[in-house]
Chain A
Amino acid sequence: MSPPPPAARRTRPPAGGRVFGALNVLGVYGLVGGLFALGCAISREFISPDNLMNALRAVTLLGIVAVGLAFVTYSRHYVDLSIPGIMALSGTVAVWALKFGFVPSLAIGLAVGALVGLVNGLVIGYLRLNPIIWTLAMMSLLSGVIRWAYAGRQIYPDKATAAGRAFLELYHHRLLGLLPLPVAVLLAVAAGGYFLMRHTGYGARLKLTGSAYEVARLTGINVRRAVAGAFVISSLTSAAAGVLLTSFNKVGAVYIGGGYDFRTITAVVLGGMTLAGGRGSIVGVLGGVAAIALMNNVMSLVRVGQFVLGDFQQNIVQGAVFILVVGINSFARRRTGGDDA
């Protein structure tokens, strides 16, 4: 989308491939550390486990989605704008499918999400359509279809059935009585994502595909499949988050997951995943998510004057920090001799 700068200006980089990566990750964790210090300075309550737990809870689902989207960004396909649609769809379908029992409904929910991801993957990976535009169209289609299917109603899990109750409790379920399920899912997804990206053949192929598509193709890598895979992964995590969010909201409705598209890409990029593809890591992405969590939390603790629309100020600060951090990252990368991607 944004064209390469004149090569003549691009300085010849010295050694050090993983320097950038490390630098990005360090960068975002530096931010996290700074926010942490700020929080401690601002109020005593900040450091309390309750508060930190709240901060974490607020971004658990965001984290789950972000890990998936990271693969799309890593493959140099920017963003999947159909994420909110996938979340709403999988959640709603899961509620509808409760009549087949609890586990089947979860399975069906995830499957539907993955199906959308597969379509995205096939169209973008195999037909080479622009990801932003296609997923935009897909988003419009999905939100239309959901409204159409449920005629503007929202559907409730039936409390009368065991499956319904189980579904409503899903979000609050605690593994071994202490670890909240969403957090567990996040940890699992993150670990899986990290392993997949770092330590599998797929990860290596995806990296080459993301860094240099043509090269990957002429190395005999099935680039189309690699890209399609990224979209399927992203849709799967979105679906999982969607089901959890639906259980949290106690209803399946079209507005579930709204705003997750841009919030997620913000977290991913903040975490040092460059839109140029092939760079960044899941660890960094988690850092980005943590940074957003702390930013919100700290700002909500600031005692600003009464009767202000605190939300708006918070967003402004977030937007500014976002641009700033990414700017510093790309600047640092240029300085260390990388390209401006």
Chain B
Amino acid sequence: MTPSAPAPTRAAARPPGRARPFAKAAAAAYRYRVYLLCTIIFAVMGAAAPHFLTPGNFSNVLKGTSTNLPAAVGFTIVLIAGQLDLSVGSAMTMGGILVMGLSPSLGWAGAFGVAVLCGLGLGLTNGLLVAKARINSFIVTLGTMIIVYNAMAIYCRGGTIPATTFALSDFLQRPVVDLDPRGAPPALLWLTLWLTPRNLVSLAVMAAAAVFLRRTPAGRGLHLMGGNPQAAWYSGLHVDRYVIGAFALSGLLAAVGGAVVAAGEAAGSLKLGENSLMTIVAAVIIGGTSMEGGKGTVVGTTVALVALTALINGLSCLGAGHEVQLVASGLVLALIILYDAYWLHRRQRRRGQRKDLLEELQARAASDPPAGRGSQGAPSAPGPGREGRSHG
């Protein structure tokens, strides 16, 4: 057969031999996409929305973030473990309602204790059903979500349970360093106004979880388990315990979050965690946690949550309606996951390429125009890079 010029194909248009100028920047952009997104939102809103970039509103944004943060952290942990927990919203509601309902009889401490224990119990139930009864977590938590919500509805008879006193609420909402918003210099306000116990609790939870996941063997074990349960099992990890533990943490954190919110708002209602699930899922995914398990960071989740809250808050600073907020958050989520998919696709396309071949290709691309590539050298003639590493 005669060596004819190869028929041009779609991919031939851009031979990878050419160095890609933006490769580095693009990789970084992907790596830090959450931070990028957050910055963009703050920039755009700061420019467009009145009252957005003010200390008061900043603390407002953080307050909104801290509402869902503990539950989101728990959700991240469960997702890293390769499972799904739809019951976080209900768990929040449960925490809030129980704290309010029990505080008159048990006092704040007692009420908190019970609420958190119930959260833990819910988590354990989920975990046991998933790990021991081996039911798909989507199904288990969908069921418990419904059960817990309605149980709470019965407990508070469809109403809302108010706090008997504002003391705790005030404490939780007041900045630790309480300056007079009018008098104090803005710089200080920027630093202090958002430092309310309520936010600090959420931040503490987040920090603790971050350390646990990144720096403790148990945390890494969780990643291993989510990434490849079989490998984890063969490495002597007790897979079931990790699954149960993940769910327990998630239930517990969600309950804590709900309890703090209710205490801060001085009221526990069925609506407390009603709309949280969707926000949380969106934030966790935007934060770079993978649905396949084994991958994700709570910091990413937190930043994503801040970004989403800032987006909503900024839009309502602009007087935008609920519909605009829905569209905007939907768009952000959609774009981010499309971006993810695009990068995954690129990685898989390049996976397993041989360095020596690419170098050779570059050498050729440099030496002669791609059109003539086909006719270069008889197939059997030794070409450059032939005697490279024994494998790619």
Q: Which residues of A contact B (CB under 8 A)?
A: 1-8, 78-79, 123, 127-130, 132-134, 136-141, 143-148, 152, 262, 265-266, 269, 274-276, 309, 311-313, 315-316, 318-320, 322-323, 326-327, 330-331, 334, 340
Given the interface contacts A8-B230, A262-B142, A316-B151, does A147 sit within 8 Å of B282 by beta carbon? no
Q: Is the CB of A137 within 8 A of B146?
A: no
A/B interface sample: 15 pairs, CB < 8 A:
A2-B138, A3-B226, A3-B293, A136-B333, A137-B282, A140-B329, A141-B330, A141-B331, A145-B327, A148-B327, A316-B146, A323-B129, A323-B143, A330-B136, A340-B134
Residue from the set A123, A137, A145, A147 with the largest chain B CB neighbour count within 10 Å: A137
Given the interface contacts A136-B333, A138-B334, A148-B327, does A326 sit within 8 Å of B229 by beta carbon? no
B338 at the interface (CB under 8 A from A): yes
Q: Is the CB of A327 within 8 A of B291?
A: no
Binary interface encoding of chain B residues 277-294 relative to chain A, with 1 for a CB under 8 A from any of its CBs, else 0: 010011001000001110
Residue of A nearest to B81 (CB): A3
Question: Can you list the 7 inter-chain pairs with the closest CB atoms, starting with the nearest?
Answer: A144-B326, A140-B330, A147-B323, A144-B327, A141-B330, A319-B146, A323-B143
A residues in contact with B140, CB < 8 Å: 323
B250 at the interface (CB under 8 A from A): no
- In Å, the complex CA distance between A79 and B153 comes to 27
B249 at the interface (CB under 8 A from A): no
B residues in contact with A334, CB < 8 Å: 134
- In Å, the complex CA distance between A318 and B334 comes to 33
Min CB gap A286→B, angstroms: 19
Considering only CB atoms and an 8 Å cut-off, how many residues of chain B contact the other chain? 58
Q: Is the CB of B293 within 8 A of A144?
A: no
Q: Is the CB of A2 within 8 A of B341?
A: no
Q: Is the CB of B143 within 8 A of A320?
A: yes
B260 at the interface (CB under 8 A from A): no
- In Å, the complex CA distance between A237 and B258 comes to 38
Min CB gap B285→A, angstroms: 5
Q: Is the CB of A137 within 8 A of B334?
A: yes
B residues in contact with A147, CB < 8 Å: 321-323, 326
B93 at the interface (CB under 8 A from A): no
Q: Which residues of B contact A (CB under 8 A)?
A: 82-84, 129-130, 133-140, 142-147, 149-151, 153-154, 157-158, 226, 228-230, 233-234, 239, 278, 281-282, 285, 291-293, 321-331, 333-334, 337-338, 341, 344-345
Question: A3-B82, A132-B281, A330-B135 known; 6 other A-B pairs, CB under 8 Å?
Answer: A6-B230, A123-B338, A129-B337, A133-B282, A137-B282, A320-B147
B residues in contact with A262, CB < 8 Å: 142, 146
Given the interface contacts A141-B327, A323-B143, does A316 sit within 8 Å of B150 by beta carbon? yes
- In Å, the complex CA distance between A147 and B150 comes to 29
* Of the residues B133, B150, B285, contact of A312 by C-beta under 8 Å: B150
Residue of A nearest to B281 (CB): A136
Q: Is the CB of B135 within 8 A of A319?
A: no
* Of the residues A4, A78, A144, A275, contact of B229 by C-beta under 8 Å: A4
- In Å, the complex CA distance between A147 and B83 comes to 34
Given the interface contacts A1-B137, A129-B337, does A7 sit within 8 Å of B130 by beta carbon? no
B residues in contact with A152, CB < 8 Å: 321, 323
- In Å, the complex CA distance between A133 and B79 comes to 13
Residue of A nearest to B154 (CB): A312
- In Å, the complex CA distance between A316 and B152 comes to 10
A residues in contact with B135, CB < 8 Å: 323, 326-327, 330
Q: Is the CB of A309 within 8 A of B337?
A: no
- In Å, the complex CA distance between A269 and B140 comes to 12
Given the interface contacts A136-B278, A140-B327, A141-B327, does A319 sit within 8 Å of B144 by beta carbon? yes
- In Å, the complex CA distance between A138 and B293 comes to 23
Q: Is the CB of B323 within 8 A of A322?
A: no
B residues in contact with A266, CB < 8 Å: 142
Q: Is the CB of B157 within 8 A of A309?
A: yes
A residues in contact with B83, CB < 8 Å: 1-2
- In Å, the complex CA distance between A196 and B6 comes to 43
Given the interface contacts A265-B142, A266-B142, does A1 sit within 8 Å of B84 by beta carbon? yes
- In Å, the complex CA distance between A275 and B295 comes to 22
Q: Is the CB of A323 within 8 A of B139?
A: yes
B residues in contact with A136, CB < 8 Å: 278, 281-282, 333
A residues in contact with B153, CB < 8 Å: 309, 312
B residues in contact with A340, CB < 8 Å: 134
Q: Is the CB of B239 within 8 A of A6?
A: yes
Residue of B nearest to A334 (CB): B134
Residue of A nearest to B291 (CB): A130
Q: Is the CB of B133 within 8 A of A1?
A: no
B residues in contact with A309, CB < 8 Å: 153-154, 157-158
Min CB gap B305→A, angstroms: 16
Residue of A nearest to B329 (CB): A140
Given the interface contacts A147-B322, A262-B142, does A1 sit within 8 Å of B154 by beta carbon? no
B residues in contact with A79, CB < 8 Å: 138
Residue of A nearest to B335 (CB): A137
Min CB gap B225→A, angstroms: 8
A residues in contact with B327, CB < 8 Å: 140-141, 144-145, 148
- In Å, the complex CA distance between A327 and B278 comes to 26
Residue from the set B150, B153, B154, B291 with the largest chain A CB neighbour count within 10 Å: B150
B residues in contact with A312, CB < 8 Å: 150-151, 153-154, 158
Residue of A nearest to B294 (CB): A3
Min CB gap B342→A, angstroms: 8
Given the interface contacts A262-B142, A323-B140, does A316 sit within 8 Å of B147 by beta carbon? yes
Residue of A nearest to B157 (CB): A309
Residue from the set B140, B142, B329 with the largest chain A CB neighbour count within 10 Å: B142
- In Å, the complex CA distance between A3 and B136 comes to 9
